[in-house]
């Protein structure tokens, strides 16, 4: 693996747990494609933390002062999600699962768990905070590059899912997801490369799934990657879904920080200007041929801008594939609700801005040859706020710590500052939880043997390739159940991993896989049909037809014993002939053995 | 408050942070750098002190020039803060703490604040009502356009009823307001409730003692409820306060500068009739199956008794002389005969007391029970009896005054319209 010198990289994983909700007794299911039973409207305010400071990220959101809308589903929401009732005690199963995972990761579990309120005023929690608790610290896991520390494991509640941000700025959420338990796991910055980061993420995912209590499906696990290089800053890249993308994400972020360091070298002599003079340039465009500027002006928007001294050429410097330093600044304007900025390192003709308009702007802004400028088209208040944020970012002479959002191509965009540490205060509605030896014993029993034991067992049961696949499989739990019933391991594994996939390609989707498999194999173990008939039976079971009927309708009952003897004799003991005609009804091994006896 | 900054060494691991006051003999509660609190048992832990840090700055003093409205604080969640010693929510004595979080308030009205009590409303007694009424009176005399009273929600409807009797014909609005979610939470309902209360006090046409709280679960508008006709009907929801047997006085939405009256009301400019004499020696008893005569008998130590009776206003009377049936009728009659007024309300909450329908009711009337025909809530009836007994001792006059509507607590007509 290639290593980036002095790269600091850690990963944070959020995994939903397949238990009841954390602080109420609603089920952890999503109301997919259902219409809400009610929509409620709320307003949130940032409040003070117990240390008397207002968190930076919270303050940024507060500036927006938004109302929020929430879809409510009676099936999986109650007054707790609505923030109309205090939380109930913590879900015991979720707590046991998290404690159990901590024991497997060699962690130091706290003696008393304190539930905290983590302030989140973007509307994703009706209360304005997410309930979270630090459960353990100072653990580690083994990897190909040595030990990677696990700094912290927390248990917390999932946020509400966003549906849309309306044109008015109002965000619309759904409450079915709110309150589902999450385990949050953060590694130390011990990861040495992008590939290593991927390995760690994969292994943690497998450890979590091996408990059998990890939720499966889209969005049930989220990875955030923390990256910094010497002289750079900690940047948290959120929303990594595809583990294969991790090496690329790390590489792009390292290069982004390096590129900005280069820019900062060039800006060394340029004084930082936090509050530049913002100039209204609308007059210049009174006869513009730029249709979008014209439209904006007619709608009452203004063209405003400011000078960035000594920045000529810098805004056009590429810092991520296809993204320039100007894009970085534009991301800050976007946090004020704008679509972006226009800057002088761009070809302004592309915007329909004529050369004389450009030079007039330069003149009004008093921009010198070596300067650059940034303009926006927006309603005045919003435009000023956007420009102020751009100016603040441009005035930094160091790489800022940031929370960024990953893009599908592995690049990232600025979201918000890193949350400060003042964002927590105690959840006063829930007592502290004492972690006793008894509780830990229960937790160990609850989550079973752990990943390594599981791996060993699978290697004993299956061939090496299938054992590897099964360990990562979403059907592991079903597999274990079938093995428990007495099904041959390879048959269970190939049915779950190959047959199901083959059928899906043909458009056959088996909805209740676990139940279907249990039904199928209980008949199989009764000797009612042979292995090769499985692929014929399953599509009909998918239609809801019981096994007995499928066997009857399709004449798939197993032929064996006396009946098979008769058949063999009828076919003059010709194995090939028999298999050709009765492949779906006879067991080759039995045929072979009977031929010998007859 | 000062917090100790420490390094805790335990089994080879070092935790750094602040020691929080909820620590005790066995456990140290530590606030870590990352903001989390954790508890560590003291056993096997060594502490390395790193110094002290001052936390929680006091709110800047709010200017106390006389404003258009007065904001009086009687405590409760609405003026609470997190109390770190126990980790619980605790009332604050400083209204400025609250107002610091409400910069919009100044846009609605100028104001001054006064802290009367810092207490949870379940701890209040009728004497507190008298003090509050006195404070409101002196604000009215100072010429304010309205009074807002911050109050705990548990007994706010008792206080609002009591002040309705004490401050009859108030010339300005007297608006009680509370919160079901404390102001330290981003989702607090205090903001909407207080801003609407201030708007009603400053701009509203309705000069009554009332309660302003969320109308629905949405943070959109509030209802202004008549002080004698309102009751807390939910333990935790925002829209806990409901007008009982009445429409709310008005819908209030400061953001739209809207106050929409929903029923007839007293206009501004009345001549205050003030009387805050109170007798707190009154009992309010919830009737139930198996209520023992002994308990009713023991009520003789009170100066008045209110029953929240079953149904139309009943307690066990054994009207048909069945065997093995308890009756408290003789004890009630004994109370009444000894000059202790016995007043009936209904635990149904909605509907009117009627002691003419069943034999039991008639027997209770014969025994001297007051209240047939009243559509009051048990709490409004209770506050009224405390107030009437504050200035009247003659049982006959007490009975007559109890049945005379004085602040909307009894209405002659049972309306059929309702709001959500």
Residue-wise pLDDT tens digits, A345-383: 999 999 999 999 999 999 999 999 999 999 999 999 889
Residues B299 and B315 in one domain: yes
Residues B263 and B216 in one domain: yes
Q: Which of A44, A114, A432 faces B186 most closely, judged by CB atoms?
A: A44
Q: Cα distance from B161 to chain A (closest Cα, Å)? A: 26
Q: What six digits make up the tokens of B49?
A: 């002190």
pTM of the full structure: 0.85
Taking the C-alpha atoms of B350, B353, B359 and B365 in order, what is their torsion angle to the nearest 10 degrees?
160
What pLDDT is stored for residue B415 in this prediction? 80
What pLDDT is stored for residue A262 in this prediction? 95
User: For the residues A137-146, what does the mean pLDDT come to?
Assistant: 96
Q: Which of B33, B34, B37 faces A426 most closely, judged by CB atoms?
A: B37
A268 in B contact zone (CB under 8 Å)? no
Q: CA separation (Å) from A542 to A422, A499, A535, B345?
A: 53, 13, 11, 63
Q: Which of B34, B38, B217 faces A112 most closely, judged by CB atoms?
A: B38
* B273 labelled catalytic: no
Structure confidence by residue, pLDDT tens digits, B228-239: 999 999 999 999
Residues B288 and B248 in one domain: no
Residues in chain A within 8 Å Cβ distance of B220: 41
Residues B254 and B177 in one domain: yes
The number of folded domains in chain B is 3
CA distance B253 to B197: 10
**Searching chain A, which residue's CA lies closest to the CA of residue B10?**
A108
- Which of A72, A124, A428 to mutate to probe the B interface, most B CBs <10 Å? A428
User: For the residues A576-586, what does the mean pLDDT come to?
Assistant: 89
Residues B162 and B242 in one domain: yes
Q: Which of B13, B35, B181 faces A423 most closely, judged by CB atoms?
A: B35
Structure confidence by residue, pLDDT tens digits, A495-528: 999 999 999 999 888 888 889 999 999 999 999 9
* B164 is a domain residue: yes
* B148 is a domain residue: yes
Neighbours of A595 (CB within 10 A): 16
User: For the residues B265-291, what does the mean pLDDT come to?
Assistant: 97
In this complex, do B186 and A128 lie within 8 Å of one another by their Cβ atoms?
Answer: yes
Compute the mean pLDDT over every residue in chain B, rounded to the nearest whole number. 92
Residues B96 and B7 in one domain: no
Poorest-confidence range of A406-420, B15-29, B59-73?
B59-73
Q: What is the CATH number of the domain that holds B25?
A: 2.30.30.520
In this complex, do A112 and B15 lie within 8 Å of one another by their Cβ atoms?
Answer: no
* B337 is a domain residue: yes
CA distance B347 to A47: 39
* B154 labelled catalytic: yes
* B416 is a domain residue: no
Compute the mean pLDDT over every residue in chain A, rounded to the nearest whole number. 91
CA distance A273 to A528: 82
The two beta strands, B69-73 and B146-150, are: parallel
CB A137 within 8 A of CB A108: yes
CA distance B355 to B362: 6
Q: Cα distance from A264 to chain B (closest Cα, Å)? A: 30
Instruction: Tell which A residues from 204 to 223 touch B, by Cβ distance under 8 Å.
Output: none
What pLDDT is stored for residue B273 in this prediction? 98
The two beta strands, B174-177 and B209-214, are: parallel
Q: Which of B84, B187, B219 faces A41 most closely, judged by CB atoms?
A: B219
In this complex, do A426 and B238 lie within 8 Å of one another by their Cβ atoms?
Answer: no
In this complex, do B15 and A44 lie within 8 Å of one another by their Cβ atoms?
Answer: no
Residues B85 and B164 in one domain: yes
**Searching chain A, which residue's CA lies closest to the CA of residue B59?**
A52
* B232 labelled catalytic: yes
In this complex, do B82 and A424 lie within 8 Å of one another by their Cβ atoms?
Answer: no
Q: Cα distance from A45 to chain B (closest Cα, Å)? A: 4
B5: nearest Cα among B59, B54, B60, B71: B54
Structure confidence by residue, pLDDT tens digits, A271-327: 988 889 999 999 999 999 999 999 999 999 999 999 999 999 999 999 999 999 999
Domain final residue, candidates B239, B274, B309: B274
* B251 is a domain residue: yes
Residues in chain A within 8 Å Cβ distance of B153: none
Percent of chain B predicted with pLDDT > 70:
92
Question: pLDDT confidence of A1, banded at 50, 70, 90?
Answer: very low
Residue boundaries of the structural domains of chain A: 8-23+90-158+180-266, 279-396, 449-558
What pLDDT is stored for residue A50 in this prediction? 46
What pLDDT is stored for residue A136 in this prediction? 98
In this complex, do A44 and B101 lie within 8 Å of one another by their Cβ atoms?
Answer: no
Q: Cα distance from B31 to chain A (closest Cα, Å)? A: 10
DSSP string, A175-201: SSSTT-EEEEEEE-S-B-SHHHHHHHH
What pLDDT is stored for residue B208 in this prediction? 98
Domain final residue, candidates B274, B295, B329: B274
Full domain range(s) for residue B44: 2-54
Taking the C-alpha atoms of A196, A200, A202 and A204 in order, what is their torsion angle to the nearest 10 degrees?
180
Residues B207 and B253 in one domain: yes
Q: Cα distance from B252 to chain A (closest Cα, Å)? A: 16
* B418 is a domain residue: no
Q: What is the CATH number of the domain that holds B301?
A: 3.40.50.40
b (16+ CB within 10 A) / e for A374-399: bbbbbeeebbbbbbbbbbebbbeeeb
Comparing B315 with B107, the larger pLDDT belongs to: B315
Architecture label for domain A279-396? 2-Layer Sandwich (3.30)
Domain final residue, candidates B227, B257, B274: B274
Percent of chain A predicted with pLDDT > 70:
95
In this complex, do B82 and A426 lie within 8 Å of one another by their Cβ atoms?
Answer: yes
Q: CA separation (Å) from A565 to A425, A559, A572, A575, A577?
A: 77, 9, 11, 12, 14
Structure confidence by residue, pLDDT tens digits, B69-111: 999 999 888 877 765 544 555 666 566 666 667 878 888 999 9
User: For the residues A421-430, what does the mean pLDDT come to?
Assistant: 79
A394: nearest Cα among A276, A285, A505, A507: A276
CA distance B197 to B156: 14
**Searching chain B, which residue's CA lies closest to the CA of residue A85?**
B236
Structure confidence by residue, pLDDT tens digits, A60-115: 555 555 789 999 999 999 999 999 999 999 999 999 999 999 999 999 999 999 99
CB B191 within 8 A of CB B160: no
Percent of chain A predicted with pLDDT > 90:
75
Can you name the residues that pair with B212 across neighbouring β-strands? B177, B224
Structure confidence by residue, pLDDT tens digits, B190-217: 999 999 999 999 999 999 999 999 999 9
In this complex, do A47 and B32 lie within 8 Å of one another by their Cβ atoms?
Answer: no
Is the model's pLDDT at A55 over the cut of 60? no
């Amino acid at each position: 693996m290639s290593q980036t010198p002095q790269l600091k990289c850690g990963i944070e994983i959020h995994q939903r747990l397949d238990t009841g909700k954390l602080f109420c007794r609603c089920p952890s299911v999503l109301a997919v494609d259902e219409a809400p039973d009610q929509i409620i409207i709320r307003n949130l305010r940032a409040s003070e933390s117990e240390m008397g400071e207002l968190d930076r990220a919270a303050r940024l959101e507060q500036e927006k002062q938004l109302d929020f809308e929430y879809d409510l589903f009676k099936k999986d929401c109650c007054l707790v999600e609505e923030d109309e009732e205090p939380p109930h005690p913590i879900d015991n199963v979720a707590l046991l699962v998290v404690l159990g995972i901590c024991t497997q990761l060699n962690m130091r579990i706290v003696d008393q768990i304190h539930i905290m309120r983590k302030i989140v005023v973007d509307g994703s929690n009706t209360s304005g905070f997410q309930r979270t608790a630090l459960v353990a610290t100072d653990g580690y896991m083994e990897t190909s590059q040595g030990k990677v520390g696990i700094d912290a494991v927390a248990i917390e509640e999932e946020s509400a899912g966003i549906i849309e941000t309306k044109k008015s700025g109002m965000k619309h959420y759904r409450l079915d997801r709110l309150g589902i338990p999450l385990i949050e796991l953060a590694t130390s910055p011990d990861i040495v490369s992008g590939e290593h980061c991927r390995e760690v993420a994969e292994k943690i995912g497998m450890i979590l799934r091996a408990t059998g209590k990890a939720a499966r499906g889209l969005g049930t696990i989220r990875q955030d990657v923390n990256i910094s290089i010497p002289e750079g800053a900690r940047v948290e890249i959120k929303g990594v879904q595809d583990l294969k993308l991790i090496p690329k994400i790390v590489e792009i972020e390292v290069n982004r920080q390096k590129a900005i360091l280069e820019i900062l070298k060039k800006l060394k002599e340029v004084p930082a200007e936090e509050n530049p003079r913002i100039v209204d340039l609308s007059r210049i465009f009174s006869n513009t041929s730029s249709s979008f500027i014209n439209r904006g002006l007619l709608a009452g928007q203004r063209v405003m801008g400011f000078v960035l001294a000594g920045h000529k050429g810098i805004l056009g410097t590429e810092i991520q594939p296809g993204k320039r330093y100007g894009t970085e600044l534009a991301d800050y304007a976007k946090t004020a609700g704008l679509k972006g900025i226009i800057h002088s390192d761009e070809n302004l003709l592309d915007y329909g801005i004529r050369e004389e308009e450009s030079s007039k702007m330069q003149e009004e802004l008093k921009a010198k040859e070596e300067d650059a400028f940034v303009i926006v088209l927006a309603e005045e208040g919003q435009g000023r706020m956007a420009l102020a944020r751009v100016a603040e970012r441009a005035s930094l002479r160091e790489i800022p710590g940031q929370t960024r959002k990953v893009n599908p191509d592995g690049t990232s965009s600025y979201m918000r500052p890193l949350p400060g540490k003042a964002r927590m205060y105690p959840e006063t509605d829930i007592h502290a939880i004492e972690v006793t030896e008894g509780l830990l014993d229960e937790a160990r029993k609850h989550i079973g043997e752990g990943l390594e034991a599981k791996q060993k067992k699978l290697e004993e049961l299956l061939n090496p390739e299938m054992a590897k696949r099964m360990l990562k499989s979403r059907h592991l739990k079903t597999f274990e159940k079938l093995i428990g019933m007495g099904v041959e391991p390879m048959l269970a594994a190939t049915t779950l991993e190959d047959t199901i996939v083959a059928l899906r390609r043909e458009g056959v989707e088996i909805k209740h896989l676990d139940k279907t498999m249990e039904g199928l194999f209980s008949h199989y173990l009764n000797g009612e049909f042979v292995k090769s008939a499985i692929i014929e039976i399953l599509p009909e079971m998918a239609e809801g037809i019981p096994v007995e009927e499928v066997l009857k309708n399709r004449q798939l009952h197993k032929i064996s014993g006396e009946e098979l003897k008769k058949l063999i004799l009828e076919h003059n003991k010709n194995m090939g002939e028999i298999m050709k005609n009765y492949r779906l009804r006879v067991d080759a091994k039995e045929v072979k053995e009977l031929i010998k006896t007859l | 408050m000062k917090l100790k900054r420490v390094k805790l060494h335990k089994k080879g691991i070092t935790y750094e942070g602040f020691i929080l006051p909820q620590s005790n003999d066995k456990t140290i509660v530590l606030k870590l750098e990352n903001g989390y609190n954790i508890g560590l048992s003291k056993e096997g832990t060594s502490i390395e002190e790193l110094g002290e840090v001052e936390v929680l700055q006091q709110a800047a003093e709010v200017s106390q020039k006389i404003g258009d409205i007065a904001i009086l604080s009687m405590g409760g969640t609405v003026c609470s803060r997190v109390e770190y010693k126990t980790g619980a929510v605790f009332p604050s004595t400083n209204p400025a703490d609250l107002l610091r979080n409400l910069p919009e308030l100044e846009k609605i009205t100028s104001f001054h604040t006064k802290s009367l009590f810092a207490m949870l409303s379940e701890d209040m007694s009728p004497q507190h009502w008298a003090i509050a009424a006195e404070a409101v009176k002196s604000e009215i005399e100072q010429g304010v356009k309205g009074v807002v009273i911050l109050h705990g929600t548990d007994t706010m409807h008792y206080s609002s009823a009591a002040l309705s009797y004490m401050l009859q014909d108030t010339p300005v609005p007297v608006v009680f307001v509370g919160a079901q979610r404390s102001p330290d939470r981003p989702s607090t309902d205090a903001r909407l409730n207080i801003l609407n209360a201030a708007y009603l006090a400053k701009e509203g046409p309705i000069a009554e003692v009332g309660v302003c709280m969320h109308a629905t679960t949405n943070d959109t508008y509030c209802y202004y409820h008549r002080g004698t006709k309102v009751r807390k009907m939910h333990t935790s929801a925002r829209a806990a306060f409901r007008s009982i047997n009445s429409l709310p006085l008005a819908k209030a939405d400061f953001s739209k500068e809207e106050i929409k009256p929903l029923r007839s009301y007293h206009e501004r400019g009345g001549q205050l009739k003030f009387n805050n004499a109170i007798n707190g020696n009154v009992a309010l008893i919830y009737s139930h199956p198996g209520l023992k005569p002994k308990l009713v008998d023991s009520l003789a130590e009170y100066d008045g008794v209110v029953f929240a009776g079953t149904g139309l206003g009943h307690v066990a009377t054994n009207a048909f002389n069945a065997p093995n049936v308890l009756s408290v009728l003789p004890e009630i009659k004994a109370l009444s005969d000894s000059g202790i007024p016995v007043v009936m309300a209904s635990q149904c909450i909605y509907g009117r007391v009627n002691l003419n329908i069943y034999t039991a009711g008639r027997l209770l009337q014969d025994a001297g029970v007051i209240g047939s025909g009243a559509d009051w809530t048990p709490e409004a009836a209770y506050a009224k009896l405390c107030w009437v007994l504050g200035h009247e001792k003659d049982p006959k006059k007490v009975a007559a005054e109890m049945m005379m509507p004085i602040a909307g607590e009894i209405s002659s007509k049972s309306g059929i319209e309702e709001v959500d």
